[in-house]
Amino acid sequence: MRRREVIRLMAGAAAAWPLAAASQSAKLPVVGFLVAGTQASHGAWVASFTKRMAELGWTEGRNIVIEYRWAAGDNQRMEEFAAEFVQRKVDVIVSSANGVNVAKRATSNIPIVFAAFSDPVVAGLVESLAKPGGNVTGLTVQPSDLASKRIGLLREIVPNLRRLAALANVAASFSNEVQGIRTTAASLNIETNIIELRTAEDIGRALATLKGSADALYVLSEPLVNANRAQILAAVTDARIPTVFGFREFVEAGGLLSYGANFLDLFRRAADFTDKILHGARPADMPVQQPIKFDVIVNLKAARELGLKIPESFLLRADEVIE
């Protein structure tokens, strides 16, 4: 072979190498993770998902691409991110809370896995828990049952509870949980005031009305309030209002009490759904699962600042007591 031809072949091969690499990269499955909150509110949960994916053999950049988009509880941003994922034709969209609704409105073809959602049947995301029947499946957090438990725990700590306020984002799917609050409170002769939120600006105005008008507060946990955790904790601390949350992170940051599903575990299990879909499973055939871990977390420092005495029996039942 002539020297000129060898040089030409080598040059052609060299030029083809980056194209081949790009082609190989383009073939990697892509997961679009539409994070409804912020890195502060959802970062640990997302890391739990990513870690489980690695345990299942998925290494980012080698055999999978995971694109993260942080919406910070902003529905407009979630819609933009969802549209981007649909345009890019990702293989799976993973999300939670209202991000799931947004993703479902954006596509009926791309598989969607929800790491945590209130009631997917009521929201119209699935036909039933046993047989989802569409392109969506994942893990539900059983909100109506949790409302009763949270109020019961709160009343043990605040025995004279007569007026209960609740912060609820009307854009989220909370109808069952709100009804659970009303039903449980009525059975205990507790007056309820459901304070509706739509934007982050509503939070400050809502919290300003609590002092002197409520004996305790119930925060319906979702991305909007999670993204504004510091503001909420500062306000309830200043107003000296005992508050129950759905997420332990609020209590770790200084809140009084939380009861709910273990979200690290939920996001970890969402990776199992994603793995199966990437291996060919159909969301329509994958039953929606429920939490298997629930935690009661109480902060003794917050209780002391509120002048509350936590019963010994309560502390013995708590999964974690923060000193």
Q: Comparing 9-141+263-285 with 143-262+294-322, is the CATH topology the same?
A: yes
Say if CB 105 and CB 81 are below 8 A apart.
Answer: no
Global model pTM greater than 0.85: no
Q: What is the dihedral of CA 248, 273, 179, 76, to 10 degrees?
A: 80
Question: Residues near 82 by Cβ (< 8 Å), separated by ≥ 6?
Answer: 34, 93, 99, 102, 103, 105, 106, 107
For residues 30 and 309, give the distance between their C-alpha atoms in angstroms, rounded to a whole number: 51
Helix (H, G, I), strand (E, B) or coil at 107: coil
Which residue ranges make up each domain of the chain? 9-141+263-285, 143-262+294-322
Q: What would the CATH number be for the domain defined by 9-141+263-285? A: 3.40.50.2300
Helix (H, G, I), strand (E, B) or coil at 92: strand
Tell me the pLDDT tens digit for each residue of 34-53.
999 899 889 999 999 999 99
Count of other CB atoms within 10 angstroms of residue 130: 9
Q: Is the confidence at residue 297, as pLDDT, over 90?
A: yes
For residues 71 and 261, give the distance between their C-alpha atoms in angstroms, rounded to a whole number: 22
CA count, 13 A, side-chain hemisphere, 218: 36
Handedness of CA 183, 185, 191, 195 (dihedral sign): negative
Tell me the pLDDT tens digit for each residue of 114-139.
999 988 998 899 999 999 999 999 99
Q: Is the confidence at residue 72, as pLDDT, over 80?
A: yes
For residues 24 and 73, give the distance between their C-alpha atoms in angstroms, rounded to a whole number: 35
**Fold for domain 143-262+294-322?**
Rossmann fold (3.40.50)
Tell me the pLDDT tens digit for each residue of 169-227.
877 656 678 888 999 999 999 999 999 888 888 888 888 888 889 999 999 887 788 88
Say if CB 187 and CB 233 are below 8 A apart.
Answer: no
Of the candidates 270, 249, 232, 220, the residue with the CA atom closest to the CA atom of residue 40 = 249
Say if CB 209 and CB 121 are below 8 A apart.
Answer: no
